[in-house]
Structure formats: structure tokens, C-alpha cells
Amino acid sequence: MRLAIIDYDRCQPKKCSMECIKYCPGVRMGEKTIVIDENTGKPIISEVLCSGCGICVKRCPFKAISIIGLPEELSEDKIVHSYGQNRFKLFGLVVPRDGVVGIIGQNGIGKSTVLRILAGELIPNLGKHDKEPNYDNVIKYFRGSELQEYFVKLKNKEIKAIHKVQYVDILPKVVKGKVGELLKRIDERGKYNEVVEKLELKNILDRELHQLSGGELQRVAIAAAYLRKGDIYFFDEPSSWLDIRQRFNAARLIRELNKVIVVEHDLIVLDYLSDYIHIMYGVPSAYGIVSLPKSVRVGINEYLYGELREENIKFRKEPIIFEKRPVIDYKNRPVLLTYSPMKKTLGSFKLEVSGGTIYKGEVIGILGPNGIGKTTFIKLLAGVIKPDEGEVTKESEIKVSYKPQYISPDYDGTVEELLSSITNIHTSYYKSEIINPLQLEKLLDRNVKELSGGELQRVAIAACLSREADIYLLDEPSAFLDVEQRLAVSKVIRRMADEKEAGMFIVDHDMLFQDYISDRFIVFSGEPGIYGIGSSPMNKRDGANKFLKEMQITFRRDPETGRPRANKEGSQRDILQKEKGEYYYLYNN
């Protein structure tokens, strides 16, 4: 089977000569392969008539067309849902079961579509997008499978599904009121006080939703889903905006529920949360396929390898490998900057940071909960604000490039115009080091204000790294990115540090990302919003051990991939490591 995918956001027939139609050789029985839709004025490609020659793909000046050959075992009658002709198609579904079922896959691969279908928000059309979908056809399609009974219950409204959506920033637009009043009103399980304590909501109960930050909105959304009585719960990216402690607090809460399906890009949290894993693969924005259920460890490892062993399918050319880099003694390198112990008071918040030295080419991971002073520390190093006590000593005049945590798409122009205003983006070096790894080629002619969260994040990272600087400060670069994009970003950051001999400071809550990218850690502790205490730069083991001890979380290494995994709380390994004081991982692990 062949898919012809058109990105109608990119397709601009009024600005081109429609060469996709002019040069398409496909004419059979008097029918043309590509025709113009009378209603939209945009092209439609017949997947039945298309020979897959690819001429239209090469001729399209906006790179809006993709011709994709599907695996032989997939056919039109196996489509579960299609968003229209030449649009995204979904093959397969996740089967709900007791416990927590995790879904892992790239952005744009259909994970949220799966949740919407199972939550009863979207009736799958089985690829018949020209007909009104109905549950009778869906029940017939899944006849003889576990999903048949599930859809019968959905049709008869015998299943109450609770869905925590991906984009929590829309909540203030549709719900008004104070946090405490809203949660009390929907508390169907009598767990209000317990949730307020476990998700640390006490300080925001009297605030309106529109006054909350992204992390606060996320915790309120998780609390709202948990408090309602349901037969099945869906959580779409529950860790976004949350710090590590909050991620595990939310994970523990979610595990208390009986039947859950969760989409998550933080592999450590997904590993900790899930009892089973489904892998979704395919081509983003074109088609997605749902794998068979797998055990958590096997499922995540197969996703990293890019190979489904039971299905005998390879869906990625290169595996994701967590390389073990040799420990480098950075003290033999030139000093970039030194800072003495510093103090800074901002309103009622007080920050104290121990002194330290940063060397050229070093990547420093900054760990700690939200509201503890990490961003304030970065601004002190950058000279954006001055310390009340202490000072930053620089070996020479130092240039700083800063990517903030919250990115505002206020640039009025295209991505190409934005990046070109910073540097020459048309060199082979820039294309190989920035554009290709960050997958920016198809975004260059897009308006910055029209980008999604993940697209905007990659552009912001590219803009930060494109500036000539001695120190790069990136605040939460992994937010909104999928696993593969996070790895690509980490490799770009590492190469920039080595090639430019620049110092990199990375604030991020994905411990796998931090573990992979960092040479040393700075650990922040204290009471969020009240006071923060920052350590000196520490070697990775000591820094991670200090941080995880404060979180009361223990890690181990997966023997097959080397990735860090969180131990289940109260497990034998968890108890043993806590007794030995080894929270990061045991030496023989």
C-alpha cells in the first residue's frame, strides 16, 4: 500500500505554478492521479492511481508532499482512523487492561488520537473518511477481539473515561474559578485533602486558573482527573512542566488508579509508571502503527533499538545508544569563569550559591525542583542581574547566549528569517550541525508564530546555539520534545561544547537527558518560593547521589542499554541502595 500525504498548512497553490500536477505522469483510464479540489483549491492525490514515482515530491517548492510506501502487511482495510484523503492514518489500537499501560513514540505518530478514540471523544472511521463514522461498524471491525466488548460499552455509555489532555494551557480558556473550589466541586472520590498534599497544591488553592504557571496547571489537571470516578483514565504527557520530585509524586498518584493508559516522553517516568508498553512507530504526520503489548523493560529497550523482535520489524535505521563517555579531567583545560559564594534576594525569595569554577568545553547539568533559584543562578552568571554578595570573575570579556524556560513566539517572520538574522544558515556546516539534526528544514519557511510547542523549542535551541558566545544557558531544552528529538538535541549541545570550547549550563528535569549530556552537576535544594541553596559543581556520581537522596528515589542501570531506570519504591533493590546510601546506582550495577 502507498500513502500520499499532503501537508495542507504548507501547500500554497496560489504561490506556485502547480508543477505537481503538470509533471505527474499518472493517468489511467482517463483519470489523473493529481487533481484540484474544487472546494479548497488544493491538490488531491489518488493513492490508488499513484505509481510512487516521486516527481510531485521533488517539484513541490514548499516540501508539502510525501509519498510513502507502507509495509506489505498493512492494507487499506486495516486503517483504524484517517483524518482525510492524503492525511494522517492510524493502524491498530491499544487494548485497555488493568494496571498502567504506557505508550511511547515520536511526536505526530498518533498517540493522542489513540487516547481520544479510547476515551470516546472520537469515533474511528476505519479509513472511510467520506462516511459518517458509527460504533456499529467499529464493533463489527473489532469482532472477536478484546476491543469489541470495549466499544460495545462505549456505545452504550457504560464506560466513564477520564482524560487528562496534553495541552493544559487551554484550561484557563474553558474553565473559570479558584483552584480549591474547582477541585472540591469535582471530588467524587473523597480524596481532596490527600491530592492537595501529594501534589503540593496548598499554596495555589486560592488562585484563579489564569494566574497559574505551566507546572501548576499540570498538577491541577492531574488532580482533577484523579479526583473523578472513572472506569478508565487517560493521561497525555503528565510530566510536562513538572520538576523531578513532582513527576514522581504524580506517577505515584496515577499508579493508585485501577486502569490507566498514559503517553509519556520521559523514559524514566514511563518506566516507573507502567506495567506494559505499546510502541508506536511509522512516519510522523503521515501514519502510525501500534505494536503488540510488551513488558516495560523489553518495550522501552526495543524502542531504543528501533526494532520489534516479536513482529520482526525494524522501524529505525540507527539505534538510540547511551554512549559511555570517558571521564575528562576538565581542570587541565582553560578556566572559563570563577564565581565566589553568592547571595541574592528577590522579594521574599532568598538564594545562596556555593562558589565554583567552570572550564572550557564543559557541560554543567543543573538539578533541583521548580521555584528553587536555578534560573536566578543562571541570570547571575549571565550578568542579567547582580548578586547582593559575591561576584563572578571572568578570564576575559565573555559573551552569553540564553534560551529561557518559557518561549514566547513573538518574532514576526519566518524561521529562516529569524535564524538568518543571527548567522549564515546556508553553509554546509550549519546544515549538518544544526538544521539536519534538529529537523528544521521543513520549518524554515514557516512563520514563527504558527509553530507548535515542540517546533518552537527546536527553533529556540537553534537560535541560542547559533549565536557566537562563550557560555550557553539552556533552560528546559527537552520540554515538548519526544525521545528521539531529545537525543538529537543532546548530541548537538555536546558537539557545540567540544567544537566551540564553550561552557554549557543545562537546566532540565529529564534525568535521562541530564545523565547523558552532563559532565558535572550543580544541585539546588531548599523550599520552593522561599529559599534555595546551590552546591558547587560536583562530579556526576556525587551530584546525582545528593539530588536523588533528597528526592528519596533510587536509580539502577539497565544492563542491556545502560540507560538509568528508577527502582520501584519499596522494592528489594530500592531498600538495598538506600541502606548503602547509593541512590544513583550501585558500582556493580
Confidence (pLDDT) at 43:
86
Q: In the CATH hierarchy, which fold is given to the domain comprising 330-544?
A: Rossmann fold (3.40.50)
Beta strands at 34-36 and 43-45: parallel, antiparallel or unpaired: antiparallel
326: pLDDT strictly greater than 80: no
Select the highest-mean-pLDDT range: 60-69, 228-237, 515-524.
Answer: 228-237
Q: What is the reported pLDDT for 121? A: 95
- Range of weakest confidence among 67-81, 131-145, 450-464, 518-532: 67-81
* Model confidence band, residue 310 (pLDDT cutoffs 50, 70, 90): confident
- The string of pLDDT tens digits covering residues 374-393 is 988 988 887 878 999 999 88
Judge whether residue 73 has pLDDT over 60.
no
- Mean pLDDT value across residues 457-471: 93
Nearest to 373 by CA among 534, 545, 224: 534
- Has residue 10 got a pLDDT over 70? yes
Q: What is residue 54's predicted lDDT score, i.e. its pLDDT?
A: 84
User: Quick check: helix, strand or coil at residue 464?
Assistant: helix
Buried b / exposed e across 120-137, counting CB within 10 Å, b at 16+? beebbbbbeeeeeeeeeb
- Per the listing, cell 558535572 goes with 520
Which phi and psi (to 5°) does residue 382 adopt?
-75, -15
Q: Is the pLDDT of residue 529 over 70?
A: yes
Task: Give dist(CA 203, CA 137) in Å, integer.
Answer: 49
Rounded to two decimals, the pTM is: 0.86
Burial annotation 397-432 (CB, 10 A radius, 16+ → b, else e): ebebbbbebebebeeeebbbebbeeebebeeeebee
Q: How many Å apart are CA 329 and CA 400, to the nearest integer?
A: 24
* Angle of CA points 32, 38, 40, to nearest 5°: 115
Mean of pLDDT values over 68-93: 83
Work out the pLDDT band at 256, boundaries 50, 70, 90.
Answer: very high
Radius of gyration of the chain from Cα atoms? 25
pLDDT at 290 over 60: yes
Q: Are 289 and 80 in contact (CB under 8 A)?
A: no
Choose among 86, 250, 211, 232: nearest CA to 153: 232
pLDDT digits (tens, 9 = 90+) for 394-417: 766 778 888 887 677 778 889 999
How sure is the predictor about 327, in pLDDT bands with cuts at 50, 70 and 90?
A: low
**Is residue 162 pLDDT above 90, yes or no?**
yes
Q: CA 355, 359, 365, 368: dihedral to nearest 10 degrees?
A: 10
SS3 432: helix
CB-based contacts of 480: which residues, under 8 Å, 6+ apart? 240, 452, 453, 454, 456, 457
DSSP string, 34-80: EEE-TTT--EEE-TTT-----HHHHH-TT--EEEEEPPTT--GGGEE
Q: Phi then psi for 220, rounded to 5 degrees?
A: -65, -40
Task: Assign a CATH topology to domain 2-69.
Answer: Alpha-Beta Plaits (3.30.70)
Considering only 66-70, 298-302, 494-498, 573-577, which range has the smallest mean pLDDT? 66-70
List pLDDT tens digits, range 121-153.
999 999 998 789 999 999 999 999 999 999 999
| Positions of CATH 3.40.50.300 in the chain | 93-314, 330-544
Q: What is the average per-residue pLDDT within 68-91? A: 82
Residue 55: its pLDDT value, please? 87
pLDDT of 193 strictly over 60: yes
Share of the chain above pLDDT 70, in %: 95
- How far is the C-alpha of 321 from the C-alpha of 195, rounded, in Å? 38
Give the number of other Cβ atoms within 10 Å of residue 579's Cβ. 8
Closest residue by Cα to residue 286 from 32, 91, 53, 36 = 91
- The candidate with the shortest Cα–Cα distance to 189, out of 235, 238, 225, is 225
Q: Which amino acid is at 104?
A: I
- Chain region(s) in the chain for CATH 3.30.70.20: 2-69
Cβ within 8 Å of residue 313, ≥6 positions away: 71, 281, 307
Question: What's the pLDDT at 323?
Answer: 65
User: What crossing angle do the helices spanning 453-466 and 483-500 adopt, rounded to 10°?
Assistant: 10
Q: Which residue has the cell 509553530?
A: 451
- State residue 244's pLDDT score: 87
Query: What is the tens place of the pLDDT at every residue in 16-67?
Result: 888 888 888 876 556 788 888 877 788 888 887 887 888 888 888 888 888 8
Pairing of strands 356-359, 335-339: antiparallel
- Topology annotation, domain 93-314: Rossmann fold (3.40.50)
pLDDT, position 383: 80
pLDDT confidence of residue 188: 96
Specify the pLDDT at position 399.
84
62 against 364, higher pLDDT: 364
Phi-psi region of 104 (alpha: psi -120 to 50; beta: other; left: phi over 0): beta
| Alpha helices (H) along 202-258 | 214-227, 244-255
Our measurement of the distance from residue 314's CA atom to the centroid of its chain's CA atoms, rounded to an integer in Å, reads 23
Round to whole Å and give the CA distance between 187 and 370: 27
pLDDT averaged over every residue in the chain: 89
Residues 267 and 103: their CA atoms lie apart, in Å, by 11
DSSP state of 435: I
Question: Which residue has better confidence, 469 or 331?
Answer: 469
CA end-to-end distance (rounded Å), the chain: 46
Give the residues across from 28 on adjacent strands.
31
Q: What is the mean pLDDT of residues 239-259?
A: 92
Helix/strand/coil percentages in the chain, nearest 5: 35, 20, 45
